[in-house]
Amino acid sequence: MLEKRKYKKAMYIYGGIILTIVIMIWAIYVNQRNTLINLRSNEMISIAKISANNLKSYFEEKIDYLNNVFQLEDELLDKGIEINKYIEEKIITIKEKSVGYQGSITYIAHELFNSDDLNRLYSGECIVGPIKKADDYNYIINIYKPVFNKDKLDGIVSVEYLLNEIYKETLGKIQVGKYGYCTLKDKDGAILMHGDMNQIGLDSIKDRKEKYPELDPEGIERLVSNQLRGGSGSDIIKSYWWGEDEVKQVKKIIGYSPIEIGGYQWIVSAITSYDEIAIPIVKTFYFIVIFGAILIILIVSFIIYISKIKNRQDKIMLELKYSEEINRTTKMLRKHEEQLSKINSIHTLGMVASNLAHEFKNLLTPIFIYSEMLINNLKGNKEAIEDLKEIIVAADNCLELSKNILSYSKEEITENNLWFNSCEEILNILNILKAIMPPNIELEKSISKEKIYLYGNKREFKQIVLNIFTNAYQAMEESGGSIEVNYCIKGTKAILIINDTGCGIKEDVISNIFKPFYTSKADNGTGLGLSIVVGLLKKMNGNINLESKLGIGTKAKIEFNNIKIDNS
């Protein structure tokens, strides 16, 4: 079951990696496509603006040319030239020497000029006339140059241009891509210039809807509506490549820009194929997909390879773990056998100790009796009485020791828990121990002046202090040193600290020292002392902490929580 879960989890991870790669590839493709289309759309707007400027420059050049050629200076008029003849000769010269399309030039007497633009001609400058339809596939536009005899209008030079011819010299020369071209519309959306003559004169929306009902009307209407607003912009629409034998629907990118000539508003459009951009992008996308597929195959292969190696390693590690577990279990069994052996020895020792303790108590009884009798008989000898009291205290401690021996041998001595003066008990213990300590060990003590009362078994408290203190001075029996005992209040706790300058304890020993039967004293210890201390401290709601450094000494810190303080 666990292996299936691992396999399922791995499949989710691999699937997530593959999905992430696919999403990244698609995101790269979409971003690249949109970037290139935006670039091409902006490029088409720029081409439309340039084309509009070129067309405007074309008309301005024609106007400047007419202004220069047919401008009559006062000096000529003063000579009395015949204006009609002079103008006709100029027209003949232009037709003979001009290069390129110049249009149809005529000179019209102002009396014969029938146009709404007559009033505009009195400014003396050339004007552009309205566009008129020449036939089904062509429009014409006129440029008029007024000719004055001093202040009097004599006639008008009229130049008639075919828009198809102008288209060939201007917009028709611009091709963007394989199919691209430029067009010109008027302010109403009628097509004035186009690469396909069949489109000239058609309304961009109405006529094309009738002629091509399958054309996307929404795209065309949006485009023309934006164009007629008078600004520059671009759009992508569905349309056709007009003039081909087989008309197929395609997508076009169209940039457009407005143009004003002679007061007339027109729109220049630059058109190119959407597919010319999309096809290279799609090819790039296919390349990325193939590359991604190869990458995914490599990743999956690598993952499978790594998984196989990992499975082999897991099997090896599992076998090692089983071996270690068997070794650890074997060691534990041996250790338990040793502990059972110690327990049997200690049980036997306990039975002997119990008998000795009873005998020891019987021997102490005469000491108590005779000491009390001597105190009563020697009331005047204070020094002797003090010595006798010390004997009684020592005998009392011996009695406590016999009780401890009985507790080790599983013979319980029942005593009730109560509040007792711990400072007094510590001082009594130190006085006894000071008398039996080797002379090469110094004892320094700092016991709280306040009476600190602890709740618990007074006998067990003594046993705790005796065990810790005994360990301290036994560590210095041969080398000598000092023991410092501090007992005080910190916050809501009573703190007993016993510092010695003994040989110290190793780190690996400290981690095991509170375990039952663990001893570092070779054949001299049972390993029960500190484990008993821990058990007794738990009963008194206390705890112990050891800090030790080899060659420096050991610090035992004991904390008691159930306390009362008497300042009297």
- Pairing mode of beta strands 542-549, 553-560: antiparallel
Q: Counting Cβ atoms within 10 Å, is residue 204 exposed (0-12), middle (13-18) or buried (19+)?
A: buried
pTM: 0.50
Cα–Cα distance, 109 to 123 (Å, whole number): 17
Over the stretch 457-498, which tens digit does the pLDDT of each residue have?
Answer: 988 899 899 888 888 888 888 888 899 999 999 999 999 999
pLDDT value, residue 530:
77
Determine the CATH number of domain 417-566.
3.30.565.10
pLDDT value, residue 413:
45
Q: Show the DSSP H helices in 135-252 as ranges.
A: 163-169, 206-211, 217-228
Over the stretch 511-567, which tens digit does the pLDDT of each residue have?
Answer: 777 776 556 654 444 445 677 888 889 989 999 998 988 888 999 999 999 898 887
The list of the chain residues with pLDDT below 70 reads 1-7, 10, 98-100, 115, 216-217, 243-247, 333, 336-362, 400-415, 516-529, 568
- Domains 1-273 and 417-566 agree in fold: no
pLDDT value, residue 235:
92
pLDDT value, residue 358:
61
pLDDT value, residue 527:
42
CA distances (Å), 500 to each of 234, 342, 458, 496, in order? 93, 30, 25, 13
The architecture CATH gives domain 1-273: 2-Layer Sandwich (3.30)
Sequence-distant (≥ 6) Cβ neighbours of residue 305 within 8 angstroms: none
Percentage helix, strand, coil, to 5, in the chain?
55, 25, 25
Q: Among positive and negative, which fits the CA dihedral 141, 143, 144, 147? A: negative
Cα–Cα distance, 398 to 523 (Å, whole number): 25
Look at residue 169 and give its three-state secondary structure: helix
Cα–Cα distance, 136 to 200 (Å, whole number): 8
Q: Do 477 and 438 form a contact (C-beta atoms < 8 A)?
A: yes
pLDDT value, residue 255:
94
Q: Counting Cβ atoms within 10 Å, is residue 9 exposed (0-12), middle (13-18) or buried (19+)?
A: exposed
pLDDT value, residue 345:
54
Sequence spans of domains, the chain: 1-273, 417-566
Tokens describing residue 243: 């003039």
Q: Which helix (H) or strand (E) holds 8?
A: helix 2-69
Cα–Cα distance, 518 to 476 (Å, whole number): 20
